Structure 1
Amino acid sequence: MTTTGHPASAAGAEPGEPLAVEFANTLFRSRGRLRDDIAATDQLAAWLQGHATALGHANGGPLADVELTDTQTADFLALRDAIRSLIRAATENDQACEEDLAHLNACAAAAPHWVRLRFGKDGFTTNVATDRPPVPAALAALAGSAAALLAGPERHDLRACHAPGCMMFFLKDHPRREWCSAGCGNRARAARHYLRHRER
C-alpha cells in the first residue's frame, strides 16, 4: 500500500539533483514502506510551489495560488511514472518504452514556452514565458526537464541507488559516489557487513 509522506521525507536523497530527478524521487521507500510525496493535491501543490523557480516561475508566480484538481494530480503522477521508467531505462542501458516517450512528449507539447529577456535594477534577467495556464505549463516544464536530462551529457551520470530497499535516482557527481544519500550508503555498508559475518 502507498502511504503519503511530506516534502521533507524524500530528503534522504542529496539536495540539488536535476528537477526531473527530484520529481521522480517523490516516490520512494522509507523504512520498508512505499511513500508518495505528491499523491494528494495539496502535497503536489506544495511541491510545485517549492520548485516554482526551477519550473520558470520566480517567487512562486502563478503557481502560488493554483488549486489543483484530482485529474490534474493524476496527470502529474502519470508523467512521473513515465519519467521514472525512462530514467530506469537510461540507468540500465535498456530500451525506452515507446508509450512513456509518447506521454512525456505530449506533456511537453501541452504548453510551449520561450525565454523572455528583461532588464531591471539587477541588470539582465530571464524568465520562462508561456501563453498557457500554470498547471499545464508546470507539467510541460517537468517533461522538458526530463527530456533535456535524458538527451544531455548528464545522462551518463544518472544512477539508480542500489542500497537495500531504495528506489531513488541520482547524478553521480563524484567518482566515489554510489548511493543517493549518506543514509543509503550506511545501510548498504551495514548490509554487506552483516552478510560477511553471516557467511563466516
Structure 2
Amino acid sequence: MTTLAFALAATIKHDGHGGIADLLSTPEESVAWLREQKPPLTHVLGPVLPTDLGRFLHPIRAEILPNLDASRAWCELVRMRRAVRALFARAVAPGAPSKVDADRLMELDDALRMVNDAAGRLGTTRLEWVDEPRLRWAYQTEDPVELLAGAVGRSAIEFLSGPDRERLRACPAARCVKYFLQDDPRQTWCSPACGNRERVNRHYRKRTAG
C-alpha cells in the first residue's frame, strides 16, 4: 500500500507538456486529493487512536469534509510536502534528487524538525492505573488539520526508517520530477513512458550530433 507521505510527495508531477503539475494547487484540489487517501490515512491514524475521536481523525469522510478548513488543510499539506520531498531528496543516491527540488531544497534540520513536530501532534501511549495498569493513547490535539499534518509526519518517519527507503529513487528522465520505489535492480525509470521518452531523446541527440 502506498504510504501517505509517499502519496503526498507524488502530488508534484510532470504535466505531459514539458512543465510541472501540482495536484494541490488549490484548497479544493487538496480536499479532492484527501478523499482518495482514506487507506493510507487510516493506516496511520486508525490502529492507534480511539474510535470516539473519529469526527476529528477522518476528515476525508464525505460527511466530515464540509467541516474541514480547506484553506488551512491546503497550506499544511503543501508545507508538509516540501519537508517530505526534502527528506526524500536526501534519502536517494547522493546528488540525485528530483530535478524540481534540486535548487530549492529545504534545509535538512528544518525538514526534520517539521516532520517530527507534526508527528508529535498525534500524541503517545501513556500508562494509566485505575483498577489495573493499562495503556492509553494520549493525543495532543483535536484539531483535524493538525492531526492531518501529524499523519503525514508519522507516515514520513515510518517510511524513511523502514525497508522501503532502500528502494527510493528519483526518476532521472529529463522532464520527470517523481520519486518512485525501485521494483527491480535494473529499473532506472519511474515508468515505461519515461524510459521510452529518454530512449527517443538519446536517439535524437545521437542523430543530430552526427
Q: Do the aligned residues in 2 keep the contact of 1:27 with 1:36 (CA within 8 Å)?
A: yes
Tell me if structure 2 keeps the 8 A contact 1:79–1:143: yes
Amino acid at match of 2:120: A
Does the 8 Å contact 2:30/2:73 carry over to 1? no
Q: Percent identity?
A: 30
In the alignment, structure 1 residue 177 sits paired with structure 2 residue 151: no
Cα offset for 1:148? 1.2
Compare the two structures and name the one with the higher strand fraction.
Answer: 1
TM-score, structure 2 as length reference:
0.72
Deviation at 1:175, TM superposition (A): 2.2
| 1:198 aligns to 2:194 (yes or no) | no
For residue 40 of structure 1, report the CA deviation from its aligned partner: 1.1
2:113 maps to a residue whose letter is A
Q: Which deviations, in whole Å up to 9, do the C-alpha atoms of 1:149-193 show, x marking residues without a partner?
A: 112221111000011111110010122221112211111111111
How many positions carry a matched residue from both structures? 172
Runs ≥4 residues deviating over 3 A: 128-131
Q: Structure 2 regions of 5+ residues with no counterpart?
A: 47-56, 96-106, 126-136
Q: Is the 8 A contact 1:86 1:100 kept in 2?
A: yes
RMSD: 2.7
CA contact (8 A) 1:63 1:135 kept: no
TM-score (norm. length: structure 1): 0.75
Compared with structure 1, are the counterparts of its residues 34 and 102 closer, same or farther at alpha carbon in structure 2 (3 Å cutoff)?
Answer: same
C-alpha separation in 1, matches of 2:180 and 2:113: 24
Amino acid at match of 1:76: L
Kindly name which structure, 1 or 2, has the bigger radius of gyration based on alpha carbons. Answer: 2
Describe how 1:132-143 pairs up with structure 2 within 5 A: 132-143=142-153
**One of 2, 22, 43 as aligned partner of 1:36:** 22
Q: Judging changes above 3 Å, is the alpha-carbon distance between structure 1 residues 77 and 62 closer, same or farther for their aligned structure 2 residues?
A: closer
